[in-house]
Chain A
Amino acid sequence: MTKVYVSSVIPAPAAEVWKLVRNFNALPSWAPFVAESRIEQNAQADQIGCIRSFTLKDGGRIRERLLALSDYDLSCSYAILESPMAVENYVATLSLTPITDGNLTLAEWQAEFDCAADREAALMHQIGNGIFQTALGALKHRFGR
């Protein structure tokens, strides 16, 4: 099992950041590499079990299932159903924690997955830096004052 962890400080209150990221269908509005997204079968975007199907700007298509969403813990977890990345058992969690000192937010994004041993380093880099840290960077920029 391979684990990836990234985190970032977002310059906004956690409740405000959560309003944006809790929407499982909202990736195109803040993740710079996502072109468009829809929730399959007319489900609600916060319904546990719903599936988002989105395309990347490079054309790749990914389907992910919402596994958990907590407005109390400000966290959501999801699994990859289909992707071009050749990963298995991929489960990721995005969570927010209020930073009381300055009214900021700690955003954490972590994932666990299985993959071929020779692809591990590249995937960790691609997921950790290319996707998670890039997206958190965009979030940080969006709330930047």
Chain B
Amino acid sequence: MVKVCQSTIIEAPVDEVWAILRDFNGHDRWHPAIAFSEIEGGEPVDAVGAVRHFRLNDGGELREQLLALSDKDRRLSYCLLEAPLPLMGYVASIRLKPVTDGNATFWEWRSEFQPPAHCRDELVRLVTEGIYQAGFAAVRNLLKRRSVGSPVETRPPQAIVAPPPPIDMPHAAPRTAPGRTATTRAIVVERYGGPEELRLRDIELPPLASNEVRIRHTVIGVNFIDVYCRTGFFDLLKPPGVPGMEAAGIIEAVGPAVSGFSAGDRVAYACPPVGAYSERRNMAPELLVHLSDDITDEIAAAGLLKGVSASFLLHDVHAVKPGEIVLIHAAAGGIGQLLVQWARHLGATVIATVSSDDKARVVERLGADHVIVYSRENFGDAVMRLTGGRGADVAYDAVGNDTFAGSLAALAVRGHLVSFGQASGPVGNWDIGRFASKSLTISRPNYAHFTDTPEKLAPHVARFFQALRQGVVRIEAPTRYDLANAADAHRDLESRRTTGALVLMPKP
């Protein structure tokens, strides 16, 4: 039996470090050796007995079981069930202690195992340096990146199990006094145009109709569809109007004809009519979704529209089957990240395209089998090379003008192009006769047609929340903007600088 013990000091509060380490499925977000991890059978990440199944960057697959976890002592232990190396009888434990003068954390990582004699030294060195010391450095880096506010890799490990953010407002605000018009701060588009048309105004909040609820937004989602509303590409918004189709918040007041919702309920929505870019709004409750305690407002606002979209894109528009080859463009974006994770889970081989090496790293860590940086390489050629000339069974393309022709070229015979956006501009006119050369199918789904009734929407919401809970998809902490800075959010989204989701915060 050999014993390995490594310890270090991390310059961060102990609770912050513990929040990272206690997520038994979160190690793929910080440990450089790990490409992808999931908890088997959808167990909670902190359930004793849960098994994490993960893949190393070199392709090796391991399974480890959580044996004990104590939030009081900030320690956990686990054992190896299956590994590509003979780390026999490997049991490890991690414990943290606060350093009370200053704000640092002592972190000890120890293990025991019985290696075969001939590779004993090699395995001890691998565990000591390759796992423990590398892990120390990686968590240090993660915390450093977080503290400088980079949007990349900042999803907190307990993103979906964290309690909702503290609510500092009364649950039920008094109704507006009669005779006085209520107002709310909102982003108003006076005319179609660029991001500069997004201006903060005080607007009137009409009296609550009997079949409406009033919602105080806590977090507002930003989506490309909002850009199309702002520019007039879609006529969902008629100027002057308030854009936005996604938000989470708290119900402040309920009309007398409404049932199923009460003041104080946590809710989210991802649907027309537009109007989410505001502090408060009135809304018919048909498409509101109740939020359970394990889904934070931030994750709901950052993920609901994208998650529902991913659900119908992968299950209805094209039902992805195990073994299919799926091409996903803009894979580091908000919806791209969901598509990559979910398509992988469905058993597909995922080929992802991104515009930069930084984004490639993000997507690799989500489990994409192949990542193509299309600014450096013709992605159509790359897909053919990666698939031995066969091509992809389905391509998910929200980029539009820049990628449409390439996506057609990258498809297999009887392939399916799902065009669900035009971030780089409309795709123009195409002669469908050319599609016969490979018997291609084209879809152009419209979000509303899959989500505009409770009956259509509910299965997607349920499926998305279930995927979140089971760790099938994870959503990194979104990049936040003050509501007043909605124009900056649109500029960043359109410039392709961002990864992951963007949200607006009504209360800075």
Query: B106 touching A97 by the CB < 8 A rule?
Result: yes
Indicate whether B355 reaches chain A with its CB closer than 8 angstroms.
no
Cα distance, A98 to B106, chains bound together (Å): 10
Query: B7 touching A133 by the CB < 8 A rule?
Result: no
Indicate whether A124 reaches chain B with its CB closer than 8 angstroms.
no
* A interface list, Cβ under 8 A from B: 5-9, 97-102, 104, 106, 108, 128, 133, 136-137, 140
Known A100-B7, A101-B7, A101-B133; contact A9-B100, beta-carbon cutoff 8 A: no
* B interface list, Cβ under 8 A from A: 5-9, 97-101, 104, 106, 108, 133, 136
Known A97-B7, A101-B133, A101-B136; contact A106-B101, beta-carbon cutoff 8 A: no
Across the A-B interface, the 7 shortest Cβ-Cβ residue pairs: A101-B8, A6-B100, A106-B106, A99-B7, A100-B6, A8-B101, A7-B100
Query: B99 touching A9 by the CB < 8 A rule?
Result: yes
Count of chain A to chain B residue pairs whose CB atoms are closer than 8 Å in the complex: 50
Residues of chain B within 8 A (CB-CB) of A136 are 101
Residues of chain A within 8 A (CB-CB) of B101 are 6-8, 133, 136-137, 140
Query: B8 touching A100 by the CB < 8 A rule?
Result: yes
Cα distance, A49 to B8, chains bound together (Å): 35
Residues of chain A within 8 A (CB-CB) of B5 are 100
Residues of chain B within 8 A (CB-CB) of A137 are 101
Residues of chain A within 8 A (CB-CB) of B6 are 100-101
Closest Cβ of chain B to A37, distance in Å, is 24
- A8 nearest CB neighbor, chain B only: B101
Interface residue SS majority, chain B: strand
18 A-B pairs (CB sep. < 8 Å): A7-B100, A7-B101, A9-B9, A97-B7, A98-B7, A99-B8, A99-B106, A100-B5, A100-B7, A101-B8, A101-B9, A101-B136, A104-B9, A106-B7, A106-B97, A108-B97, A128-B100, A133-B101
Q: Which of A6, A7, A140 contacts B106 (CB 8 A)?
A: A7
- B14 nearest CB neighbor, chain A only: A7
Closest Cβ of chain B to A100, distance in Å, is 5
Closest Cβ of chain B to A99, distance in Å, is 5
Residues of chain A within 8 A (CB-CB) of B133 are 101
Closest Cβ of chain B to A10, distance in Å, is 11
Closest Cβ of chain A to B127, distance in Å, is 13
Residues of chain B within 8 A (CB-CB) of A104 are 9
Residues of chain A within 8 A (CB-CB) of B106 are 7, 9, 97, 99, 106
Query: B8 touching A133 by the CB < 8 A rule?
Result: no
Q: A6-B101, A99-B7, A99-B106 are in contact. List 4 more A-B contacts (CB 8 A).
A: A6-B100, A7-B98, A99-B8, A101-B8
Query: B9 touching A7 by the CB < 8 A rule?
Result: no
Closest Cβ of chain A to B364, distance in Å, is 28
Cα distance, A139 to B469, chains bound together (Å): 48
- Find the residue from A8, A100, A128, A136 having the highest chain B CB count within 10 A: A100
- A134 nearest CB neighbor, chain B only: B101
Query: A7 touching B7 by the CB < 8 A rule?
Result: no
Cα distance, A102 to B104, chains bound together (Å): 15
Cα distance, A136 to B100, chains bound together (Å): 11
Cα distance, A137 to B101, chains bound together (Å): 8
